[in-house]
């Protein structure tokens, strides 16, 4: 959308606003993290709900590691990333057992 002056000259374009979010240590599906960090039993749902509330499709999220834990990581990560809005860039964290390349999936 362009806004025009009285002389019909384009003065500036309004582009969709994109936000950059940086997060880390979500530890999705890590049952013991509840005890280690005092997280509530429904911490996965709370993180997902809050993410969906504030992140838009155009936003970029850089996740600095320790994104997911537990069994079925490959299946769960794909499903989780597909369900969350935004373009995700995942980095391997110190508790992430897979090689760094595994986290470079197509999340954009």
Residue 104 has what pLDDT?
Answer: 79
CB 107 within 8 A of CB 90: yes
Q: Per-block average pLDDT, block size 10, for the chain (108 residues)?
A: 45 66 94 92 96 95 91 85 94 86 72
Buried b (16+ CB within 10 A) or exposed e, 70-98: eeebeeebeebbeeeebebbbebbeebee
Provide the pLDDT for residue 108.
61
What is the CA angle 96-43-34, rounded to 5? 70
Write the pLDDT tens digit of every residue in 69-92.
887 887 888 899 999 999 999 999
Q: Which fold has domain 16-103?
A: Purple Acid Phosphatase; chain A, domain 2 (3.60.21)
pTM for the whole structure? 0.78
Domain limits, the chain: 16-103
């Amino acid at each position: 959308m362009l806004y025009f002056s009285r002389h019909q000259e384009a003065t500036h374009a309004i582009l969709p606003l994109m936000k950059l979010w940086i997060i880390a240590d979500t530890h999705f599906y890590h049952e013991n993290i509840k005890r280690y960090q005092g997280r509530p039993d429904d911490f996965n749902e709370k993180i997902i709900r809050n993410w969906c509330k504030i992140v838009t499709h155009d936003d970029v999220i850089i996740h600095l590691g320790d994104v997911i834990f537990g069994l079925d990581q490959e299946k769960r990560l794909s499903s989780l990333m597909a369900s969350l809005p935004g373009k995700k860039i995942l980095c391997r964290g110190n508790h992430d057992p897979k090689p760094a390349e595994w986290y470079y999936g197509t999340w954009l």
